[in-house]
Structure 1
Amino acid sequence: MKLLPSPALFFLLLFIAASVSAAPAVSPASSPTETPSRAPPPTAPSRAPPTTSSSPLDPKQLEALESLNIPTAKNPCDRRPSAASSAVVTCDGGSPFRHVTGIFFTNCSSDLSISATALRALSPSLLSLSFLDCPSLSPPPRFPVSLHSFSAVSSFLRRRGLSGVSLARLVNLTDLTVSSVPVSASGLYVILGNMHKITSLTISNANISGSIPKHFHSNLTHVDLSNNLLKGSIPTSITLLSNLQSLNLTRNSLSGEIPTGIGDLMWLKNLSLASNRLSGAIPDAISSIPGLTHLDLSGNQLNGTVPSFFSKMKNLKHLNLADNAFHGVLPFNASFLKRLEVFKVGGNSNLCYNHSVLSSKMKLGIAPCDKHGLPMSPPPQKEDASASDYDYSDNGDGNGKKKEEHHGPNKVVLGVAIGLSSLVFLIVFLILLAKWCG
């Protein structure tokens, strides 16, 4: 075979370049598997901007800040967060001296020490004290009684945690947040008994045992006692909190029925009672809560039929009834389910849906009903989270995105096929060209 003349070689290179450029580019977006979006990490508590003032800081408080390893070369009240310090300080605009009103520690270094002497020097002006991600810190024996807001999240040595007695002394608190910090106390009432001004209460994942107090202060608008060891029933004292907007008692060992007085909480927007041992039927009184948007009753022993009144609650967006003992026919139609952002009902083996009203494509996690209103077959196995975490899109087809992803041939296979076809065509063309030139 003779060597190809230069025009033929030029034509060959041109044809290969055109074939390569015709192959489709493959981008990460073409992958049929999407990585679920992660929840954003917890952020530091809200911080009031420093008050501008030309007055210097009180000398005694300046010394106290230095003992807490807070830089004071420049006015600490006006200093913004930096890598040099894990603390943010807020101050008032007093004269002739300014005073510290809040300190917010974040990602504390292991050599930080919080002394009771320094905290005393900052009182009575210190109103807010916060610790976020300070796990190697030892808590002081006392906190300033002047505090209106105290927050501790994922902080303090696990073997010590916080003392319920030290928290109980903070009688001026309006906001208490303790999360992922062990609290040693014989019960919640020991901590809350004298907090008459408290409006927002969070004590979660703190190993608190005992029962929920039978008396709460009426100012409360937010109660979060989730992830603890609480037992007993939900007391009627909860239902007397007329200003309550959020109630989270998830992951405890609460038993008994949901109190019918829950319907008196007219301002309630979030009710989470999941992962307890609650029994009985869902009380009709829940239907009288006009602004309820989030209801989670999953992981209990609730029984009876699923109430139809949920479909008339105009503000409801999140409804989780999974893993209970409900039976009968699901009383919802497709238009109601489309309106919800989250709906979970799997794990109720005696519950079924009317297949003439709801499509099996919705993957509700329960079986369709027979003519007697009983499940036709065992409920489908949960292959993945989508069976119980179904996300209803605007077009009513929760699988719309997945269908779109799997539609058509894979772009990688298509590119390889085009390349191979071009190569075969080139070989045949070169053979014919060689014979023609010969």
Structure 2
Amino acid sequence: MLLCSSSIVTSLRAPEPEPEPPSPAPTSSPSTLDPKQVIALESLDIPTARDPCGQPSFHNATLCDNAKPFRHLISLRLANCSSYLSLSFTALKALSTLRSLTLLNCPAAPTHLPPQLATSLTSFTCVNSLRKVSGVWLSQLQNLTHLTVSDVQVKASGPFVILAHMSKLTSLTISNANLTGSLPGHLHSNLTHIDFSLNHLKGSIPPSITMLLNLQTLNLSSNALSGQIPPSIGDLISLQNLSLASNSFSGSIPDSLSALPDLLHMDLSSNQLNGSIPKFISQIKSLSYLNLANNNLRGVLPFNLSFINRLQVFKVAGNSNLCYNRSVLSSKLKLRISPCDKFGMPVSPPAKDSSADDTTDDDYDETDDEGSRHKKDHHHGPNKFVLGVAIALSSIVFLIVFLILCSKCCR
């Protein structure tokens, strides 16, 4: 096509440009994915107009290998699925090259797992998906290194049914799954992360857990576990996060915790722990989160201001026999425990008067202030009572005299 410039003038007229042919309608980009897997993705309501190996969508992420002539899926993430979605055996069989499968908010019912897929998967994440699954169904995934099941009802007599043959696991999360039974007596040494929180597990912490030298996270919170925290927990030399909150653990805080130099997070709240708080806790330099609230701990709080200020979270409320030394800690910290008397015992909140230091009120929460006001009112109560009785007696005497005078006048 010839275009005339405005800077060139000729006596010849430029030929009229021929009309361009209409542009063809947009077509789907050629897929490099195995045609069988394209069909499988379409059955899962995943658009395939664009090459799934090229530009994954926001909600349904895909990752492919570099095989030729066709590529294969090695990672698939299904999120916010339709309630009508069906995970058919045929589709899953076609996707048996997957190494990672993630289901987020996908209420599809579980189906029989193709053996090839069960063997291929090394990572399985299921959050608020599949409605209910059985321990036997999960136990088929024997080559997993990462297992996360959260907000899903798991029907199993205990974790052992699921984990018995998962010898390659490094990360394990089964949380808020209505899981019953006891903690497994045997766990594989590769584990670095264990989360059994928000279940119904009973019994004590078995020695098998404290033998995991690579374990960095142990979360057993919100179960029905009991017994003492084993002294061997100090053998978990790699531990960084420990949460045993909301159980029924009793006994004292083991001294062996002092052997955990990398501990960042320790939550022992809402148990039945007793005894004094060990001073060594303040010597764990990496610690940033400490929650010892709602136990039966007693004695003088062994921490100074510099240690408490170093923590991002510090909670000790709900230990009625625990107190703090007023010469060491300021009442402005609002620790929600009482100060100590000279014998190291908690004292009751002092009555508020004009000569008292205004900062003493900061030792207590609002309920403590209400108690102080109640005691103050009660202290002045007898004076008001005597005054009221005197006024009443005077009124009665006046009434009697008045009646006598009236009777004499009537005569």
Q: TM-score when scaled to structure 1? A: 0.72
User: Partners in 1 of 2:142 and 2:195 — Cα distance?
Assistant: 19
CA displacement at 1:383 relative to structure 2: 4.1
1:172 maps to 2:172: no
The answer as to whether partners of 2:245 and 2:270 remain within 8 angstroms in 1 is yes
Contact 1:55 1:95 in 2 (8 A): no
8 Å CA contact 2:31–2:52 kept in 1: the answer is no
Classify 1:128/1:317 alpha carbon distance in 2 versus 1 (closer, same or farther; 3 Å).
same
Q: Distance in 2 between matches of 1:382 and 1:196?
A: 51
Query: 1:171-219: CA deviations, max 9, x gaps?
Result: 0100000011100111110000000101000000000001000100100
Deviations 1:250-275, CA, capped at 9 Å, x for gaps: 00000000011111111110000000
| Corresponding position: 1:293 with 2:264 | yes
Match of 1:156 in 2: 130
* 1:353 equivalent in structure 2: 324
Identify the residue that residue 157 of structure 2 maps to in structure 1: 186
Matched residue of 2:208: which SS?
Answer: helix
Equivalent residue letter for 2:234: G
* Structure 1 residues 383 and 102: CA distance shift in structure 2, 3 A: farther
* Shift in Å, 1:299: 0.2
Q: Is the 8 A contact 2:104 2:129 kept in 1?
A: yes
Contact 1:55 1:93 in 2 (8 A): no
| CA drift at 1:381 | 6.2
What is the CA–CA distance in structure 2 between the aligned matches of 1:254 and 1:378, rounded to whole Å?
A: 35
1:247 and 2:221 correspond = no
Per the alignment, residue 424 of structure 1 pairs with none
Structure 1 residue 122 corresponds to structure 2 residue 98: no
Q: Does residue 210 in structure 1 map to residue 175 in structure 2?
A: no
- How far apart, CA to CA, are the structure 2 residues paired with 1:78 and 1:278? 52
Deviation of residue 95 (structure 1)?
1.1
Instruction: Please say if residues 337 and 364 of structure 2, whose CA atoms lie closer than 8 Å, have aligned partners that are also in contact.
Output: no
Q: What is the aligned residue count?
A: 323
Instruction: Compare CA radii of gyration and give the structure with the larger one.
Output: 2
From 73, 84, 107, the equivalent of 2:49 is 73
| Structure 1 spans left out of the alignment, 5+ residues | 1-53, 385-438
Structure 1 position 112, deviation (Å): 1.4
- Does the CA-based 8 Å contact 2:277-2:301 persist in structure 1? yes
The 2-side partners of 1:109 and 1:319 are apart by 42
Contact 1:197 1:219 in 2 (8 A): yes
Amino acid at match of 1:121: A
- 1:88 paired residue number: 61
Match of residue 10 from structure 1: none
1:97 to 49, 70, 76: 70
- 1:10-34 CA deviation, whole Å, 9 max, x = no partner? xxxxxxxxxxxxxxxxxxxxxxxxx
Partners of 2:38 and 2:266 in 1: CA distance: 48
Q: Deviations over 1:276-320 (max 9, x none)?
A: 000000011000101001000000000000000011111011000
Determine the C-alpha separation between the residues in 1 that align with 2:366 and 2:198: 27
Distance 1:381 1:191 in 2: 48
Q: Contact 1:55/1:96 (CA < 8 Å) preserved in 2?
A: no
Q: Is the 8 A contact 1:233 1:257 kept in 2?
A: yes
Show the 5 A alignment for 1:29-428: 56-82=32-58, 86-123=59-96, 125-134=97-106, 136-142=107-113, 144-145=117-118, 146-157=120-131, 161-377=132-348, 382-383=365-366
Q: Deviation string for 1:68-121 (max 9, x for gaps)?
A: 121112211112325xxx422111111111001011011111221111211111
Q: Between the two proteins, what is the percent identity of the paired residues?
A: 60
Contact map agreement 1:273 1:296 (CA 8 A) in 2: yes
Alignment-mate amino acid for residue 130 of structure 1:
T
1: CA distance, partners of 2:201 / 2:321: 30
Distance 1:183 1:382 in 2: 42
Asked whether the equivalents of residues 128 and 152 of structure 2 are also in contact (C-alpha less than 8 Å), the reply is: yes
Q: Deviations over 1:327-383 (max 9, x none)?
A: 110011111111111100000000000001101110101000000000011697654
Provide the rounded CA distance (Å) in 2 between the counterparts of 1:197 and 1:361. Answer: 51
**Whole-angstrom CA distance in 2 between matches of 1:163 and 1:79:** 35
Question: 2:338 touches 2:364 (CA, 8 Å); kept in 1?
Answer: no
Instruction: Tell me, in whole angstroms, the C-alpha distance in 2 between the residues paired with 1:206 and 1:295.
Output: 23
SS at match of 1:66: helix
> Could you say what secondary structure the match of 1:338 adopts?
helix
Q: Distance in 1 between matches of 2:260 and 2:54?
A: 45
**Whole-Å separation in 2 of the counterparts to 1:90 and 1:236:** 40
Q: What is the alpha-carbon distance in structure 1 between the residues aligned to residue 366 and residue 103 of structure 2?
A: 41
CA deviation vs aligned residue, 1:140-199 (integer Å, no higher than 9, x gap): 232621111101112233xxx111111000001000000111001111100000001010
Contact residue 151 and residue 178 of structure 1 kept, 8 A: yes
Structure 2 unaligned residues grouped into runs of 5+: 1-29, 351-362, 368-411
- Higher relative contact order, chain-length normalized (CA < 8 Å, sep 6+): 1
SS for the counterpart of 2:128 is strand
Measured in 2, the distance between the counterparts of 1:56 and 1:359 equals: 68
